[in-house]
Amino acid sequence: MRIRRSLIDLDDLSAEDIREIFARTAAFEREPENASLAGRVCANMFFEQSTRTFTSFNIAEQRLGMHVVNLSPKEMSLSGKGETIEDTAITLGAMGVDAIVMRHPEAGFPARIAGAFDGHVINAGDGANAHPTQALLDIYTLLEEFGELGGRTVAIVGDVLHSRVAHSTIRGLHRLGASVVLIGPECFLPGDYADDGVRVERDLDAAIPTLDAIILLRIQRERFAAMPLSDEEYVAAYQLGERRLGRLRESTVVMHPGPYNRGMELDDSVLAFAGWRYAKQVRHGVAIRMAVLDVLING
């Protein structure tokens, strides 16, 4: 394994590294209480709202036996006293913090702290850039469903432009051989995404019968000033609801990184759909984060 000290995006992982993380994920799911990091210290620094990722990392760290410190921005000298991120990293390292899990609205922030910190940094989402552990848990959920991803077509639908989840998931799916189709309006999915070896589609209805899996995305309204098209236009063209569910293949699964907005990218019929895998994604998230921490720290 060529795994690095920190996990900033899926570029840091080869296909072999990803498979190693998935093997450990499966082992942690079989045996969730596993103190393989007993006595190690993890600091969670979340500068942006989070329910799933924050809780999931906390549970993962505690199951591994780590000491957990949760820092929120208002408690940090970084915010009010002019301390730089680099000096914050030096300070935490001197106290014996082994790992920092960081979420930040600015793209590149976790990479900066990784450059200054002597331990391990895990990116828990930076701006619209990357969210590697979410991508890993999404791909793990797909592998559980399909065994292999070669020959499978996975669609990512909606606001791809502003979605760090999509940016990381596209890389991982590509690396594991899935065929990726991105579906959305020009304002949320510029045509040049097709350069990354993925297909860009505008017409969800045309693509629907060809898909093995659909990953829906929330419109990231906090990342742009004005909605470029009306909610009604978006819903008419891209919402997954009863009519479109009826045109899916019987084996197609539907996923969402959460939080999902009922009435926008999906309606209630999706939540009752047999192929809806959201709860499985969330469940796998804990063991994925245990595996990432274990691989980075224990090697």
Contact positions toward ligand NCD, by CB under 6 A?
Answer: 52-53, 125, 131, 134, 164-165, 218, 220, 257-258
Q: Of 65 and 105, which CB lies nearer to ligand NCD in the complex structure?
A: 105
Q: Of 44 and 179, which CB lies nearer to ligand NCD in the complex structure?
A: 44
DSSP string of the chain, one letter each residue = ----S-BSSGGG--HHHHHHHHHHHHHHHHS----TTTT-EEEEEESS--SHHHHHHHHHHHHTT-EEEEE-GGG-HHHHS---HHHHHHHHHHTT--EEEEEESSTTHHHHHHHH-SSEEEEEEETTTB-HHHHHHHHHHHHHHHS--TT-EEEEES--TT-HHHHHHHHHHHHTT-EEEEE--GGGS-GGGGGGT-EEES-HHHHGGG-SEEEE----GGGSSS-SS-HHHHHHHH-B-HHHHTTS-TT-EEE--S---BTTTB-HHHHT-TTB-HHHHHHHHHHHHHHHHHHHHH-
Q: Of 51 and 298, which CB lies nearer to ligand NCD in the complex structure?
A: 51
Q: Of 134 and 141, which CB lies nearer to ligand NCD in the complex structure?
A: 134
The C-alpha atoms of residue 135 and residue 288 are separated, in whole angstroms, by: 10
Shortest distance in whole angstroms from residue 192 CB to ligand NCD:
22
Q: Of 146 and 260, which CB lies nearer to ligand NCD in the complex structure?
A: 260
Q: Of 58 and 179, which CB lies nearer to ligand NCD in the complex structure?
A: 58
Shortest distance in whole angstroms from residue 123 CB to ligand NCD:
11
Shortest distance in whole angstroms from residue 7 CB to ligand NCD:
15
Shortest distance in whole angstroms from residue 158 CB to ligand NCD:
9
Shortest distance in whole angstroms from residue 136 CB to ligand NCD:
12
Shortest distance in whole angstroms from residue 289 CB to ligand NCD:
12
